[in-house]
Structure 1
């Protein structure tokens, strides 16, 4: 099939393009002209599949429409994945406006049979004290980040589109980690780099946080399974093991044979550091690793069950220990960490 992937130059989108090509599909990668496409294979044919580029931005409807032309499947992966931006309106223009453009383009393009929209666990809301499934709808009582708010708005649009007959399947990854680009979407790799280079000497908080960790290649397999097996209008959590970042650091120490952190950094200290980082970011233009919205995320739990995806899609996430062993070896090979 001919498959369109928006956000193809990103951390997740790039891995998805490689996997689709290995399965023999013709992949049209939708990227901005300013995008770093070094994560993508060479353009042209090959033994497995063929890659072609389509240039534009998801906020430009005509570009999205042209990219959809002749495609049977669309993977909408493009998103702004940052806990903080100096201009928060960009979250709505990209994460909400981009989805609206894709939905309209799919409707206008008669060849598209299925749209797989990659949302986020944030769209379902926090799960303080329990484990949620796909039936959860965000209560919209509070939002830790503007990114979370934008994904909730987009989720409502996606679900309404399904009711109106759009051939959409929505997937919700957890905290994505694994080898690949070290971007804001790969927060685990970034924190491990800080940890092993001595810039994050202790645990962040006291281990009360909980996230559902998803290896990037497991998410890719889940996305492709949603293309092949996903029922139209359904939601699927592509999450994994529910754990705290304290456990991530402990597992990393066991895997590498290094010492575990011996103290906890209180959240109020992280919060102060976050505000200082934001001030520095406004001066330099460089996005901070930690910001007050990110601290708010760590004050809550985000634990989910992927049982539905296991049953209906054959989704089979690896353990956090197995995934971290791969990430740590990869970071060591890059020279980003030493142990």
Structure 2
């Protein structure tokens, strides 16, 4: 099997889940990628992490290189494509679409031609429809509606998924998972793990919005279970619980013994913040930390249904409170353990 994005939060846990089971695993990495966090993840879950690590053959390459991917896919029966660029900086738009759309199109096309038996695309809840004024729960069939406040990242994941379905229609057995916001240990400076770091650093604000969250182990479990099943040609939301952001931050703060965020950010303040951050980024040359799209998303009430994956896989999810507790414990262990 071949895994892309193995150095990311989901990819590292996916590799850890697959390792130690007597399977041959090939994983893509960039030439100078730091794999220390991935090794740390293996150490979380394996009694003998070195032995599990030995199951992974790392190959240096580029997701946009046809020659490399053809070689990497030789003899591969199952592909887990979790590599993606996540950025909300407008300056990254072209690169975002090149990697997320172009790279996905290429690996799916070559998987079809190379005789891959099953292709699992790790998409995102960002690619799901969220029409204005939506009531009730968002599910796999909620129609996509283009709106002004969509991030380039969301559009890139949506377009990538459309390419995957086009190629699946030509004969590639495909499953797509759409994880919501993923909670889990790893690189505390990247992806959703930054939420833990932010609360630890005393971040005082919270928004009025809500979203859905899931433990990273359940995302890996869903991907593996679906590729091992007879299911194909379908997408699945991977979500444990819907929760207000305020409740999420409170749970993190309590587990870190930190002060709970107490300042609610009204809509006008959020708009002021992203405009001010845009000016600051221009002056400093650093990417903006707050964007129009992220402010709009943080203020919305998103509710996602996990009924489909529960019913078709008979899947139970790790309760969010337990997930946050265990993730915060890992954070504290990493912070205070000798380097």
Both structures adopt the same fold (TM-score exceeding 0.5): yes
Q: How far off its partner does 1:325 sit?
A: 0.8
CA gap of 1:18–1:221, structure 2 versus 1, over 3 A, is same
Q: Deviations over 1:189-230 (max 9, x none)?
A: 3233222322x2132x2x2x1211011111011111111125
Partner residue of 1:305?
A: 305
The structure carrying a bigger helix percent of its residues is 2
Distance 2:315 2:163 in 1: 26
Pairing 1:217-228 to 2, within 5 Å after superposition = 217-228=217-228
Distance 2:252 2:188 in 1: 18
Q: Aligned with 1:303: secondary structure?
A: coil
Partner residue of 2:126?
A: 122
Distance 1:161 1:136 in 2: 22
| Aligned partner of 1:105 among 87, 110, 114 | 110
Is 1:261 aligned with 2:261?
A: yes
| Aligned partner of 2:204 among 192, 201, 208 | 201
Partner residue of 1:332?
A: 332
Partner residue of 2:168?
A: 162
CA gap of 1:104–1:279, structure 2 versus 1, over 3 A, is same
Partner residue of 2:9?
A: 11
Partner residue of 1:173?
A: 179
TM-score (norm 1): 0.88
Do 2:112 and 2:167's aligned partners in 1 also have CA atoms closer than 8 Å?
no
Mean Cα displacement is larger for which, 296-305 or 71-80?
296-305
Do 2:204 and 2:260's aligned partners in 1 also have CA atoms closer than 8 Å?
no
Do 1:225 and 1:314's aligned partners in 2 also have CA atoms closer than 8 Å?
no
Is 1:146 aligned with 2:152?
A: yes
> Once superposed, which parts of structure 1, at least 4 consecutive aligned residues long, lie more than 6 Å away?
none
Distance 2:229 2:264 in 1: 44
Distance 1:34 1:272 in 2: 38
Q: Aligned with 1:220: secondary structure?
A: helix
CA gap of 1:74–1:142, structure 2 versus 1, over 3 A, is same
Is 1:89 aligned with 2:94?
A: yes
Q: CA RMSD in A?
A: 2.4
Partner residue of 1:34?
A: 32
Distance 1:283 1:24 in 2: 53
TM-score (norm 2): 0.88
Q: Deviations over 1:162-206 (max 9, x none)?
A: 2222211111100011111225422xx3233222322x2132x2x
Mean Cα displacement is larger for which, 152-161 or 251-260?
251-260
Mean Cα displacement is larger for which, 148-157 or 286-295?
286-295
| Aligned partner of 1:79 among 84, 89, 94 | 84
Do 1:119 and 1:171's aligned partners in 2 also have CA atoms closer than 8 Å?
yes
User: Aligned residues, how many?
Assistant: 326
Mean Cα displacement is larger for which, 77-86 or 125-134?
125-134
Partner residue of 2:46?
A: none
